[in-house]
Structure 1
Amino acid sequence: MGRTRKIKKDDILDAAERVVVKLGASGLSIDAVAQEAGVSKSTVVYDHKSKSALLEALIDRRMNMELERQSAAVEAAADAPHPELFGRITAASRVVDDTERAVALAVCASVSSEEKMQQRMRKWTTDDLKAMASGPKPQAALMSYLALSGFFITELFGFHQWSPEDQSRILEGVRMIYTSYPEET
């Protein structure tokens, strides 16, 4: 008798990421994920009742990874003029991989039609804006954050890839927006 393969939720999500990388968000289906994971459709449906639930779990996982990365960077930037901002700048100084880019595009596709995803993205943005307002020079932090967001989204969606040298110069410019911004009264 053969050994029964035990499939974990992460195995299903790993397969879903591979499907999104290969086929895009429109190619994500319960069937495609089951085939990619080498399991039955019912195994995928057991944990993820629908394509929307599967996409939601995939997005949750990636968002949690990003939040953990940001939290670690903010903690490491404790001595910076504005740890919440400078930590996010540090977290943005990395190469975005194909999986992350594909999941980001899937987020965009789902946000357009899924109110629950829109709410999550609004909350994430609201939390970031509160973090910018929490330190000294909140207006300077907001301007820097908006520049950082534009930079990061441009890279994340693959609209443009800067060389490591250009990326460093841009992120230094974002820091300078904060440090050179006029004092608030």
Structure 2
Amino acid sequence: MARTRKISTDDILDAAERVVLRAGATGFSIDAVAQEAGVSKSRVVYDHKSKSALLEALIERRLAAEEERAQDAINGSSHLPHPELFGRIAVAEKVPDDTDKAVCLAISAAMSSEEKIHDRMSDWTRKDLAAMEKGKRPKAAMIAYLALTGFCCTEYFNFHQWEPADRLAILDGIRAIYTTFPDET
């Protein structure tokens, strides 16, 4: 007798990521995710109620993982002049993969029509901006953070991909923005 395969919420979200990677935000649907996961549409709807809720769950899982990575890097940067900034720079050393980019584009597309997603991203940004205000030299940290954000957006939106050595040089330059920015008095 064959065993019934248990499908978890994470399995469905993994399938949602694969759909976003393959078909983009426009091809994202409950039907496509159900087919990718090998489950019925009703199973996806049971867990997530709507396409918006499914996308919110996918984004929330991604952001939670990103926040955990950032916190680990911040903790590992406690010996540096501004752990909040330097931890985020350390996270940016990892080159975004195709799934990272696809989910980012899906988030971007959803923000114009999904208020909850827009609000979640706004909260995440406000949290980062507040973190730059903590610690030494908050103005220098803010300027460097804004440079880091621009760098990351350029890569995540797939506008440009730098060679590995160039990426590291850019990130070193962003660190230098913090260390060389005129003293705040």
* TM-score normalised by the chain length of structure 1: 0.98
Q: Deviation per CA, 1:57-111, whole angstroms, max 9, x where unpaired?
A: 0001111111111001100000000000000000001111111110000000110
1:88 aligns with 2:88: yes
Which residue is equivalent to 1:171? 171
Q: 1:167, CA displacement in angstroms? A: 0.5
Amino acid at match of 2:89: I
- Deviating 4+ runs (over 4 angstroms): none
- The count of residues paired between Structure 1 and Structure 2 equals 185
Which residue is equivalent to 2:16? 16
Which residue is equivalent to 1:161? 161
Q: Aligned partners of 1:98, 1:39: CA distance in 2, in Å?
A: 25
Q: Aligned partners of 1:159, 1:66: CA distance in 2, in Å?
A: 21
* TM-score normalised by the chain length of structure 2: 0.98
Q: 1:132, CA displacement in angstroms? A: 0.3
Q: Aligned partners of 2:169, 2:7: CA distance in 1, in Å?
A: 45
Q: Deviation per CA, 1:25-73, whole angstroms, max 9, x where unpaired?
A: 1111111111111111111111010000000000011111111110011
Q: 1:5, CA displacement in angstroms? A: 1.6
Alignment map for 1:65-80 (pairs within 5 Å): 65-80=65-80
Alignment map for 1:174-185 (pairs within 5 Å): 174-185=174-185
Identity %, equivalent residues = 63
Which residue is equivalent to 1:53? 53
Alignment map for 1:30-41 (pairs within 5 Å): 30-41=30-41
Q: 1:2, CA displacement in angstroms? A: 3.0
Q: Aligned partners of 1:117, 1:6: CA distance in 2, in Å?
A: 29
